[in-house]
Amino acid sequence: MVIVRKAIEDEIQIKKVSNLLEVLGIDYKNISNYILAFIHRSIVNERPDFAPEHNERLEFLGDAVLELVITGNLFVNFPEKAEGELTDLRSAIVRGKNLAKIAKSLGFSEYLLLGKGEEKGGGRENNYLLANVVEAFIGAIYVDLGFEEASNFINKHIYSTVKEILNKESIKEYKTLIQEYAQAKFDITPTYELIDEKGLDHEKVFTVGLYFKSELKGTGSGSSKKKAQEEAAKNVYLELTK
């Protein structure tokens, strides 16, 4: 009988992740959850003896901690901004594209434990997957060291991108966000259809529907079809990711 050591007990994984934590300046108590943060569902399906648990519960926790810390920082540091502006800015900071960029800068992809299919499919470079790992890693810090240390990590590596985001022409780009989300989650590309058109030529209001295949997920209105599509994408994205 071959005894397979679980990932969280594996000496190679312990050494790799402990080195990462040392580089990041995280004085951990229990390394198990940090290793777990890098375990993707695909390897659990293929090798349940080695990886019986994936990182999605930690991701759930880390997502909540991340949003709370970012929300608090924005509330304190931008007293002049209205609720809608703060919401858009928070969405830009915690969006998958930004978190994936941070994951790559920290070298998180090399610590991922993936199934063979996910590996061949380019999982290590998948923005959606990498963003989830960042959230799971935050969850691991919270479980191991508490809110303050998790907050320190978020402030240093994630909230610090706020200036760069503010300097961009647009922080919204919801059509891109909903497309990335739909492709990663459901392997489909959203489509848009004109539902209604009202008003005189110089003051028309267009209403557009956003569809996942034939299912209407939401609508948006605007003074042009492009603006209506952006509004529909925003409405659907915020609803699906809240």
- Residue 63 annotated to the active site: yes
Q: Which of 59, 88, 118, 135 is catalytic?
A: 135
Burial bucket for residue 49 (CB in 10 Å: 0-12, 13-18, 19+): exposed
Q: Which residues are 220's β-sheet partners?
A: 208
Token digits of residue 118: 């996910």
**Phi, psi of 219, rounded to the nearest 5 degrees:** -130, 165
Q: Which of 63, 144, 180, 231 is catalytic?
A: 63
- Residue 10 annotated to the active site: no
Distance CA 204, CA 224 (A): 8
Pick left, alpha or beta for residue 27 (phi over 0 → left; psi -120 to 50 → alpha; otherwise beta). Answer: beta
Distance CA 31, CA 7 (A): 11
Q: Looking at the annotation, which residues are catalytic?
A: 63, 135
